[in-house]
Amino acid sequence: QVRLVDSGGGLVQAGGSLRLSCAASGGDFSRHLMGWFRRAPAREREFVAGINRSGGWIEYADSVKGRFTISRDNARKMAYLQMDSLKPEDTAIYYCAATSRSSDSYTNSGSYDYWGQGTQVTVSS
């Protein structure tokens, strides 16, 4: 079983940057596809970015393309989400997630088995 711990959230002004980290323990991290999701107040959880085991597949939500960068370090069992040019609408709780299952859609939260506890990102205007 994989345990995920998110960190790196905080309060930042619009246009600023944050780097979220996801530390994994237990299981074989390199066998898991990693994703980042977020949940804004009064909204459903939504896909932000995903990266496969080798880093050869990466996908972003349209709303963050060109501003966010997902990456991973299998040796350190870490995943990251670099967030630049932040906007107030990026304000949400951000969660990392992991799965070793095959899926038709890794943008679907139901494809993931393990979740971090979430880290709050607040972007002020």
Which pLDDT value is given to residue 103? Answer: 84
Q: What is the DSSP letter of 43?
A: S
Q: Which two tokens stand for residue 57?
A: 């597949």
Q: Which residues contact 75 (CB under 8 A, 6 or more apart)?
A: none
Q: What is the pLDDT of residues 42-88, one digit of tens each?
A: 999 999 999 999 999 999 999 999 999 999 999 999 999 999 999 99
Write out pLDDT tens, residues 80-109.
999 999 999 999 999 999 999 888 899 999
Region 19-27 average pLDDT:
95
Other Cβ atoms closer than 10 A to 104: 6
Measured between alpha carbons, how far is residue 52 from residues 19, 43, 110 in Å? 19, 26, 16
